[in-house]
Structure 1
Amino acid sequence: MAIMVNDCPRCGSQKITFQVKGVNYYGYKLLVNSKRANVYEVYSVCKECNKTTIFIAQQLNSGADLSNIHWDESHWNLSQCAEVTGVITPADLKVSQPPEHLPQDIHDIYVEGAKCLSIGCYNAAATMFRLCLDYATKNLLPPEGQEPNNKIRRSLGLRMGWLFESEILPNSLRELAECVKDDGNDGAHEGILDKNSAIDLEEFTFLLLERLYTEKERLAEAKRRREKRKA
């Protein structure tokens, strides 16, 4: 019987043993050293309350695919090969996925915003999506001491307007960027955003991040494949 030890979110028992019933691979996490760590959903049963929980676990090394192991027949301790990083909750049931190849900090913030949106926390979701845009667009600015001025640099709405005017951001997205006003002028700071406003912000954030990160990495991958074929 394969096991793992973790706190039980169902009964509250701490450092309790779980029986691992199955593991499912569903993606990977991009680490700071550009390496990938496989991420799994772990179906397990608490030995205290006998209730099931689906944990999220990140593989610790680049060994065998954990989803190919017959966990019911093995005697492994999952902690030896994976680290539990979270648990599946109702917020995960209908959460939209972020674009691929995002920096990890932006990826995590986007996921948090999507979870907030899925359970109707629209103002919290908008705050997270704005934070994604804030991180992504700050990296596009010229060094300090050059244009734009500090007022534009500090304001997400003004900064994005400047980036469009300077043709650093694609003009095709400019109309959708109307969901991001000057700071304090879109309801996010007053807690009055509705569902449609939050969805508009999510869609724009997704498209912009896809342009900035996903398409760039896909082109790089295509170039690497072409060079490999030539070699």
Structure 2
Amino acid sequence: MKTQFCYNCPHCRTKGAGFSIRFQWQERDTRNAQFLAVCGVCNRGITVHSQALNSQHIDLIANRVEYPGNNYIISAVWPSFKSDIPDGVPENIGGFYDQGLRNLYEKRWDAAGAMFRKTLDIATKILDPQNSKDTLFARINKLVESGTLTQSMGDWSHEIRIDGNDAVHDEEPETLDDATSAQKFTEAFLIYAFSLPKMVEINRQKRSTE
């Protein structure tokens, strides 16, 4: 029976997705092998460089073993899984954004748009808790007025469908363009609101210790 293992899929973004090994070849160093594996969620593949720690690398297609377990290590994976969550974003907000990305990659436009709006909704409430009962658009406008966001960010927010009530209850389903626009705005918002201030804070701390 073929060996199966869990890995974060770089294609559909599923964390701990089950992969089945479909093809393997040995390297000249018999402790090393490479294999092709397919994600059980999206059916797309990765190439894995694998190393046996104690002996010759066995055929993972002909033998089912605990992998990587204590006897193997995954040295490299192509394509690699890279988090697309901007640096410095609070964990809960990053989790909502990541769900939006997964839905976007899996072509669930309505679900993606809803998660990007939720990301913005929670983020703006954290940045401006006094106006948490306002609509998302109103909160963004007030963040612009306070100087937390640029005027361009505020103008951009009105060009895309991010106001929860209007978008979620629309009779027309969201499109790829709708979801992609929401993703781009959300990413820019997170970078401007969280990543850049965090970078400034880190640089100031470095200067203070020099």
* Class of the TM-score when normalised by the shorter of the 2 chains: 0.5 to 0.7
CA contact (8 A) 2:96 2:115 kept: yes
Letter in 1 for 2:208: E
Is 1:164 aligned to 2:151, yes or no?
A: no
- The 10-residue stretch of structure 1 (188-197 or 121-130) with the greater mean CA deviation from structure 2: 188-197
How far the C-alpha of 1:108 sits from its partner, in A, is 1.7
Aligned partner of 2:90 in structure 1 is: 103
User: How high is the TM-score relative to the length of structure 2?
Assistant: 0.60
Q: Between Structure 1 and Structure 2, how many residues are aligned?
A: 166
3-state SS of the aligned residue for 2:201?
Answer: helix
Task: After TM superposition, give the deviation of residue 42 of structure 1 in Å.
Answer: 11
Q: Distance in 1 between matches of 2:5 and 2:129?
A: 53
CA distance in 2, matches of 1:181, 1:77: 43
Q: Given the alignment of the two structures, is residue 198 of structure 1 paired with residue 185 of structure 2, yes or no?
A: no
Is 1:217 the counterpart of 2:204? The answer is no
- Indicate how the Cα distance of structure 1 residues 160 and 221 shifts in structure 2: closer, same or farther if over 3 A, else same: same
**Over aligned residues, Cα RMSD in angstroms?**
4.4
Unaligned 5+ residue runs, structure 1? 1-10, 12-16, 27-38, 56-69, 81-87
**Residues 54-133 of structure 1 mapped to structure 2, 5 A cutoff:** 71-74=51-54, 97-133=84-120
Distance 1:19 1:121 in 2: 26
SS in 2 for 1:139: helix
Who is 2:124 aligned against?
137
CA distance, structure 1, for counterparts of residue 187 and residue 5 of structure 2: 38
Deviation, 1:180, is 4.3
Q: Letter of the 2:53 partner, please give it.
A: E
Deviations 1:12-46 (CA, angstroms, capped at 9, x unpaired): xxxxx8689xx99x9xxxxxxxxxxxx99998859
Q: Write the distance in 1 (CA, Å) between the matches of 2:93 and 2:132.
A: 25
Q: Give the deviation of 1:79 after TM superposition.
A: 6.7
Given that residues 116 and 125 in structure 1 are in contact (C-alpha distance below 8 angstroms), is that contact kept between their aligned partners in structure 2? yes
Q: Answer whether contact 1:95 1:115 (CA < 8 A) is retained.
A: no
Q: Residues of 2 paired with 1:225 and 1:40: CA distance? A: 36
Structure 2 unpaired stretches of 5+: 23-35, 41-49, 56-65, 71-76
AA partner of residue 137 (structure 1): T
Call closer, same or farther: CA 1:94–1:192 in 2, change over 3 Å: farther
Contact 1:95 1:114 in 2 (8 A): no
Distance 1:183 1:18, change over 3 A: closer
Among candidates 163, 175, 179, match of residue 155 of structure 2: 175
Task: Give aligned-pair identity as a percent.
Answer: 22
